[in-house]
Amino acid sequence: MSESGPNDPLAEAFEQQRERLVAVAYRMLGSRVEAEDAVQEAWIRLARQDENTIDNLAGWLTTVVGRVCIDVLRSRKARAELPYDDQLPELIVTADTGAAPEDNAMLGESLGLALLVVLDTLTPTERLAFILHDMFAMPFAEIGEVIGRSANATKMLASRARRKVQGTALPEEEPRRQRAVVDAFLAAARNGDFEGLVRLLDPEVTWRTYHRRGMLTTVGATEVAGPILRGAKSMTSVLPVLVNGEPGFVAWGSNGKVLGLVVCTVIDGRIVEIVTVSDRKRLDAMGLPARPE
């Protein structure tokens, strides 16, 4: 992390804050790598700062990380660069045991793909105000110091962001309904049921597949169903999983090697988006659950 010695009190104090700072930055940026970079930048700035001028180290670090994240988000907007278009968002994959998401510690650290997309529609300051208040219970007055706004203005930003995000909240029974749709999708694919598959897909469904050479996007129910059916013929075993809280599955071939990861976004009983990953390097880095016996 730094060139400071192992007993450096400032470095030790920073390390005590690191996990929380990475969590804040990840929820801002949707990328673990970028979150780590933002926190490292905070350390660099801290190392240059006279520590005697810092009354509240946790607050000072949160301010720095928050402002670094805002700069990153504004830079993305200026370049019209959305990380979900041409690079794979960080995916946290766990076996779907039917437990509630809050019972799964790993999912507690993830952001659903749908929520990531919704958060990206917020302005950087809306996003930070919402995340710091609603996810980390930070008082509006303190958040205002981070973004350079009054407490009342910050409260309004968070409220506006919350209204946009609340549309993504799911009823308690919705995850089970979504899993049922994905299970039916998988059954239709493995049974070669083209019509049944099309009925489960939104007419404008988008399929993004990440392979070794890049990403391919296909749009439309009939356009997606054909390749899905052909790919399903290679699957010999599957395991239901949750990918950032959304239903999906991992598929293996007859040679025992993983074929790919599939995650589906389900709205009103139909699949509106499918993301598949077949790139071996990406798959190996995900720490996928073991193949079922």
Q: Per residue in 233-245, pLDDT tens?
A: 999 999 998 887 7
Question: What's the CA gap between 240 and 260, in Å, rounded?
Answer: 12
- Do 183 and 157 lie in one domain? The reply is no
- Do 229 and 269 lie in one domain? The reply is yes
Q: Domain count of the chain?
A: 2
Q: What is the mean pLDDT of residues 35-47?
A: 92
Q: Average per-residue pLDDT in the chain?
A: 81
- Do 227 and 118 lie in one domain? The reply is no
Q: What is the mean pLDDT of residues 158-168?
A: 75
- Do 241 and 159 lie in one domain? The reply is no
Last residue of a domain, one of 148, 166, 184: 166
Exposed, middle or buried: residue 6 (CB in 10 Å: 0-12, 13-18, 19+)? exposed
Find all residues with CB under 8 Å of 144, minimum gap 6, and list them.
150, 151, 153, 154
- Domain coverage including residue 252: 174-285
Question: What's the CA gap between 115 and 30, in Å, rounded?
Answer: 10
Q: What is the pLDDT of residue 101?
A: 44
Residue 231, SS3?
helix
- Do 20 and 51 lie in one domain? The reply is yes
Could you tell me if residue 156 is inside a domain? yes
Backbone angles phi, psi at 277, to 5 degrees: -125, 120
- Do 141 and 257 lie in one domain? The reply is no
**CATH number, domain at 161?**
1.20.140.160
Residue 138, SS3?
coil
Give me the sheet containing 201-211, strands edge to edge: 93-95, 237-243, 246-252, 258-267, 270-277, 201-211, 214-219
Residue 202 tokens, joined:
């939104």
Could you tell me if residue 54 is inside a domain? yes
- Do 184 and 145 lie in one domain? The reply is no
When mean pLDDT is compared over 24-38, 151-165, 225-239, the highest value belongs to 225-239
Do you know the residue count of the chain?
Answer: 293
Q: What is the mean pLDDT of residues 248-264?
A: 90
Confidence of residue 261 (pLDDT cuts 50, 70, 90): very high
- Do 142 and 190 lie in one domain? The reply is no
Say if residues 285 and 261 touch (Cβ distance below 8 Å).
Answer: no
Q: What is the pLDDT of residue 105?
A: 38
Q: What is the mean pLDDT of residues 56-80?
A: 82
Q: What is the pLDDT of residue 112?
A: 58
Percent of the chain with pLDDT over 90: 24
Of 135-144, 212-221, 226-235, 284-293, least confident by mean pLDDT is 284-293
Question: What's the CA gap between 184 and 176, in Å, rounded?
Answer: 12
Please give the residue that has the higher pLDDT: either 225 or 281: 225
Residue 48 tokens, joined:
């240059």
**CATH number, domain at 226?**
3.10.450.50
Residue 240, SS3?
strand
Q: Please check the confidence at residue 266 and state whether its pLDDT lies above 50.
A: yes
Among residues 176, 204, 203, 193, the alpha carbon closest in space to that of 99 is found at 176
Percent of the chain with pLDDT over 70: 82
Q: What is the mean pLDDT of residues 79-88?
A: 46
Last residue of a domain, one of 166, 185, 208: 166
Q: What is the pLDDT of residue 87?
A: 57
The model carries a pTM of 0.54
Could you tell me if residue 275 is inside a domain? yes
- Do 126 and 254 lie in one domain? The reply is no
Q: Tokens 């597949």 correspond to what residue? A: 209
Find all residues with CB under 8 Å of 57, minimum gap 6, and list them.
13, 14, 17, 51
Could you tell me if residue 95 is inside a domain? no
When mean pLDDT is compared over 74-83, 130-139, 184-193, 202-211, the highest value belongs to 184-193
Residues paired with residue 267 on neighbouring β-strands, in sequence order: 270
- Reported as half-sphere exposure (CB side, CA atoms, 13 A), residue 210 has a value of 21
- Do 130 and 253 lie in one domain? The reply is no
Question: What's the CA gap between 258 and 43, in Å, rounded?
Answer: 39
Could you tell me if residue 290 is inside a domain? no
- Do 64 and 142 lie in one domain? The reply is yes
- Do 36 and 150 lie in one domain? The reply is yes
Could you tell me if residue 213 is inside a domain? yes
Q: Please check the confidence at residue 186 and state whether its pLDDT lies above 90.
A: yes
Q: What is the mean pLDDT of residues 139-159?
A: 88
Question: What's the CA gap between 285 and 30, in Å, rounded?
Answer: 17
Could you tell me if residue 100 is inside a domain? no
Backbone angles phi, psi at 2, to 5 degrees: -150, 175
* Tens digits of residue pLDDT in 85-129: 445 666 777 777 665 444 443 344 445 555 666 677 788 888 889
Confidence of residue 43 (pLDDT cuts 50, 70, 90): very high
